[in-house]
Structure 1
């Protein structure tokens, strides 16, 4: 194809244009199946971590330039298709779309996969959603009753606003709702408030820093953790309790615990980013879920009180290096996020 291959379609006759469209659609379906198969194989290996990517999602967005939505969808489809390989041929011949497989993925089990896939073939996305609703019906939403607006507040047929008395004064925009605490259950409280972009950015950063502890990123966990840390640092009662608590060792040559001053130095030195670098010189860009790793493994005598023996690694690359050093049998390949 030339640089301006898209110009060639303008010279095609109607029948030839329709033929080309049909043939290209078939090629696209076959390519999608092959792409999903290759992605699933790469996802199952340590290949992407070796190349400097923290996750398959990281690889899809940074290297393959997929959108976040397409990356998540392709990864989910690749993983379920690797488990039930009849999906490949159904995608290749157009019987199922990637979107349909993605919708069905969480409902496929060894005892129902053939039956569900057979029912889903050739169906639209809306029909597949109906099939899923049949497989996992959800309870109806509760009835809702609310008062109608007063007649004086309803616009007239010509679109004009209703007349107002001299005493009426309506603001041009709704005022912000006040902060609220709603008790939704005996031990649960619902918080509701509006905030600016600064708080949003702070929360996103907190999610990155606390990912290793709260991978789901639930706001309840994040806010509770930060509140407890602040109270432990500033609440006189908490400081009194901490003062009376037994002291723990701050780490030594024989201890696996890394002293606090080394943690801070390593974090500044590594810039709060995974330090893994591939053979091509690509450094992992991951900044959440970082872990302190011993360059010389602690099990092999590596010290914990030497900053040069401590580095930042993301969870994925920490696991990858551990498997390379100790072997697959010693380090199980746990399930990781996309």
Structure 2
């Protein structure tokens, strides 16, 4: 529908509503509400099948909620609710008539989805019909309490004690120098992030063991500025984890080497840039490696760390899959190395043949090539959260 058509429709509806009597206007509102409920039930039914077929992946999206936000203009919360409700309706098709009849709204389906089962479905559909929000919240808590197994009382936890006199103070602990993060790895901030203040709140629930671990770390760093500020403790821990994971997945970052004037032997192999285009093309298509070709690893199960780091830096740590409509995925969540020409089909471990793909698109390409991949792990209900 064009902008002009939408304007004409809006004007016609407004003009028609102005001329209606109170009785007719009330009936029209009720009819529109009924059609909206029926349309929602139909949308959830079709969306459930769309989700089961993972049709968002060929379009270049690693998550369904991103597809819905991009194509339909929904907010993230609206997309999450519809995905969660659609998955619940796929598990329990009896929810669709209840939605169409107005007994359950979208928020009610999302609230009931985690506690629904084949045993209590009929009872829940009867008892939860048209419950107000606060009463529905209490009803869901009661159902969750019924399903929760009885737990033995936890043993008393001995508080952690640290004798600061036995700790050798060190000014370097908590203020160690670290390699600055490459700005290319940091995605550009969204308009919302640019308008947001510098400080934000991070709320997370942890068990007693994690809380005790955090307290021990703060106690060990209490002599320096890091231990006195929980935010700085968290930041330092995240930086160390990021550095360790990037080193494990893609090798250590390259360090700048001091250049020395060393004469190159005449028989030294040429660099990658010196390889003619026709020779470089044969490396990928004909699976032929010239003596002066690019760096190649003949090991299938191991890609050298330097090569992994080269591919990671070149692709900026993002999935490079291009969807049917030209959309580039760009996800940074659980990216992994992908062979443009599969190893099983003769592809090599070269920088030209390697790229980064997220898990869903790596499995999609393997499926297209007839290769086996591990099935994705999907939660029984509710959508995944946003990829980093």
TM-score, with structure 1 as normaliser: 0.66
Where 1:311 maps in the other structure, the secondary structure is strand
Distance 1:227 1:300, change over 3 A: closer
User: Corresponding residue for 1:2?
Assistant: 9
User: Corresponding residue for 1:150?
Assistant: none
The residue correspondences of 1:96-245 to structure 2 (distance < 5 A) are 96-137=104-145, 187-190=212-215, 193=229, 222=238, 225-226=241-242
Q: Whole-Å Cα distance in 2 between the matches of residues 311 and 114 of structure 1? A: 50
Q: Whole-Å Cα distance in 1 between the matches of residues 12 and 334 of structure 2? A: 45
Gaps of 5+ in 1: 140-182, 204-218, 234-249
Q: Whole-Å Cα distance in 1 between the matches of residues 333 and 245 of structure 2? A: 19
User: Higher relative contact order by CA 8 Å / sep ≥ 6: 1 or 2?
Assistant: 2
Tell me, yes or no, if structure 1 residue 284 matches structure 2 residue 325: no
Distance 1:195 1:262, change over 3 A: same
How many residue pairs get aligned? The number is 256
Where 1:72 maps in the other structure, the secondary structure is helix
Q: Whole-Å Cα distance in 1 between the matches of residues 63 and 246 of structure 2? A: 33
Tell me, yes or no, if structure 1 residue 333 matches structure 2 residue 375: yes
Shift of 1:45: 0.4
Contact kept, 8 Å, 1:251 with 1:259, in 2: the verdict is no
Shift of 1:2: 2.1
Shift of 1:257: 2.1
Distance 1:229 1:97, change over 3 A: closer
Q: Whole-Å Cα distance in 2 between the matches of residues 227 and 75 of structure 1? A: 34
User: Corresponding residue for 1:303?
Assistant: 348
Deviations 1:263-288 (A, max 9, x none): 23323332332111123222213222
Q: Whole-Å Cα distance in 2 between the matches of residues 301 and 188 of structure 1? A: 49
Where 1:281 maps in the other structure, the secondary structure is coil
User: Corresponding residue for 1:237?
Assistant: none
User: Corresponding residue for 2:308?
Assistant: 263
Q: Whole-Å Cα distance in 2 between the matches of residues 231 and 71 of structure 1? A: 35
TM-score, with structure 2 as normaliser: 0.58
Distance 1:270 1:106, change over 3 A: same
Tell me, yes or no, if structure 1 residue 317 matches structure 2 residue 361: yes
Tell me, yes or no, if structure 1 residue 66 matches structure 2 residue 74: yes
Q: Hey, which of these two has a bigger chunk of strand by percent?
A: 1
Q: Whole-Å Cα distance in 2 between the matches of residues 5 and 283 of structure 1? A: 40
Q: Cα RMSD (Å) of the superposition?
A: 3.3
Distance 1:24 1:45, change over 3 A: same
Gaps of 5+ in 2: 1-7, 151-206, 219-227, 253-294
Q: Whole-Å Cα distance in 2 between the matches of residues 49 and 111 of structure 1? A: 34
Where 1:293 maps in the other structure, the secondary structure is strand
Where 1:52 maps in the other structure, the secondary structure is coil
